[in-house]
Amino acid sequence: MDNSTVVSEDTATPKSWLKRLFGIHEIILVVLILLSIIGIGITDYSPQESHRYWFVMVPVFAAACLILEWTRARGKGQKWTAIVRTQLLLWLGLLLAVRLVYLLLQTGRLDNENTGLIILLLLALTTFFAGIQLGWRLLIVGIFLGVALIGAAYLEEFVWIFFIIAAVIVGLLLLLKYYAAKKSDL
């Protein structure tokens, strides 16, 4: 037997705690929450610009969900065309709904502030629905967006509150994952 091909347990490098905490799912979750906080701030301080921001975020959220779906379905024998079709239909539906909200804005039925809030509501709902299919992480992002919408509707200076809430959510999720990984190592 060739000794160069044998790897002993002593020389194998275990996964670092950072790699155990930050997988692709966690990175996507953190990025979506950070982008959401930025959008919430824009909605609060510049409602006329917020609907443009959320319109741009639809493809970003769609790409994130497509990546999550792809990593979840990998190895399960699912066809990539079915994955792409499902995600495209979901997010194209949201894009169409956002366009209809713009139409209401252009015809004077909505003002800028309400337009941003409605688009945030649509994104929260679509993200929540995507989370039903893709997992609890997106459910949390959808719920976070919904709570942010309530905060935007009732509180004047709420952005800092959501920074704190987002940090706590991300911290708790990482802590749970750390302890789950530590328990599986035992």
Query: DSSP for 71-117?
Result: HHHTTTT--HHHHHHHHHHHHHHHHHHHHHHHHHHHTTSS-HHHHHH
pLDDT confidence of 153, banded at 50, 70, 90? confident
- Does 7 have pLDDT greater than 50? no
Structure tokens at 66: 């497509």
The pLDDT tens digits of the residues spanning 44-96 come to 777 777 778 888 889 999 999 888 888 777 767 777 787 788 888 999 999 99
10: which DSSP letter?
Answer: T
- Does 126 have pLDDT greater than 70? yes
CB atoms within 10 A of CB 90: 19
Residue 185: per-residue pLDDT: 67
Domain boundaries of the chain, sorted by first residue: 24-180
Backbone region of residue 14 per phi and psi (left: phi > 0; alpha: psi in -120 to 50; beta: other values): beta
Burial grade of 114 (CB within 10 A; 0-12, 13-18, 19 or more): middle
Residue 110: per-residue pLDDT: 87
Residue 109: per-residue pLDDT: 92
d(CA 24, CA 26): 6
Q: What is the mean pLDDT of residues 151-158?
A: 69
Coil, helix or strand at residue 121: helix
The more confident residue out of 159 and 56 is 56
d(CA 78, CA 75): 8
Residue 179: per-residue pLDDT: 75
d(CA 113, CA 47): 5
